[in-house]
Structures are given as C-alpha cells and as structure tokens.
A and B are shown apart, each in its own frame.
Chain A
C-alpha cells in the first residue's frame, strides 16, 4: 500500500514549456486535490475532484488543467509554465473520513 505517490520529485522548466505532474493513489479514495505551497502563503487549492470524470477549480486554478479519467490518477498539467508557478506541489486524496493523505510533493522551478 503506497498511499499517494507523486512524480517527479523535482523538475526544472523554462518559461513557456509544458509538463504534467503525476499523482496516483491506491486507497480507492473518491476525492483528490492539488495544492501549491509557497513561502508565507500556506497551502492553496488549485483543482480538486470528487470522483472519476468530475473536477472543479480551487482557489488558484489559472495556468493549470486537470482530468480524472480513473479513480487512481489525477494529473496536473501546466500548459505554458511561468516563473510564478515555481512552487512545491502537493497532491492529496481522501475518503469519507476526516483526513486528507498527502503525497511527498513535487518541487518545480520555472526559469
């Protein structure tokens, strides 16, 4: 039981490049979320999903796309990376209980 896994752990992009941050969970959770953590800003919700085929925007969705074709996977796409997207990205999944299980994070640097 791996919980929530994220790949890559670290990535450097040039402005304008695109990439996909991968997230997978093996707990059969219906709910999954993407957050970004910036210094002094805490965790901010980017997008979330309440089940396969259903996604919605969070607090800071601009510049990011998501899809949820399966229960297990919830990839986050950066269409055209900008330096403002330099951050640490966390994926999380949860069920009907109280908690969210977070992945270890992806550190992204956009030059």
Chain B
C-alpha cells in the first residue's frame, strides 16, 4: 500500500504560468514533508520542505502548501521556467531525521 501518492504522472504548463504539483499521503504519523527535483541521469536534489506545524513554506518561486486534515500537500512554482522541467518527487517522514517514503514522481514539462 503506497503511503505517499502522486496520482498524476505528468504535467505540462506554459512558461510563465503557475505549475501546481499535488501529493497525498495516507499515514497520519507523517509530520515532515519534502519535495525533490530530479533531472535525467542525476540524483534527486532537495527543493523545499514543510513540517506539520506549518501550512505554508515559501522559497523564491517555490511554495509548498500543507493541508493536514486532507492529508494533502502541493508544490506551486510561479512563474514556471523551462529549466524547471524535471521529475518532482514528494516525500514524507515521521520526524525530520527519519527515513523518507517517496511518491512515484511527476514529470513536469514547461513549454517555452
């Protein structure tokens, strides 16, 4: 049973528009959530995180929103740029230093 779900396998947006990547989780013990970005033939790189005591965290063009009651988080990228085209993984853990459970990833394509 997958505890972290990214139900949309891909997303295509126009450059300059907003990209919204969604993630759902089933384990109510998760209290720390992260987004990773991965380019082909490279390892994932950390993008942004949020703990369950917050409902929003912002870093430049990237904002993560957490809705604990719905067990849902989303990553907003505004404005989207062609260099944002990559696979984005949502991950969750029980505590900031605990092992991560990843979703399947979503492939974002930003069209020039």
Interface size class, chain A: 20 to 34
Task: Encode contact with A along B41-68: 1 for CB under 8 Å, 0 otherwise.
Answer: 1111110010000000000000000000
CB proximity to B under 8 Å, residues A59-101: 59, 90, 92, 94, 96-101
17 additional A-B pairs beyond A96-B97, A99-B34, A102-B43, beta carbons within 8 Å, are A4-B43, A40-B9, A40-B104, A42-B6, A42-B89, A42-B102, A43-B89, A45-B101, A48-B99, A58-B99, A98-B49, A98-B96, A99-B49, A100-B44, A102-B45, A104-B43, A105-B42
| B104 with A41: CB separation less than 8 A | yes
CB-CB under 8 A from A58, the residues of chain B are 99
| B104 with A100: CB separation less than 8 A | no
How far is A94 from B89 in the complex, measured between Cα atoms in Å?
17
A residues in contact (CB < 8 Å) with B: 4, 31, 33, 35, 40-45, 48, 58-59, 90, 92, 94, 96-105
How far is A42 from B103 in the complex, measured between Cα atoms in Å?
6
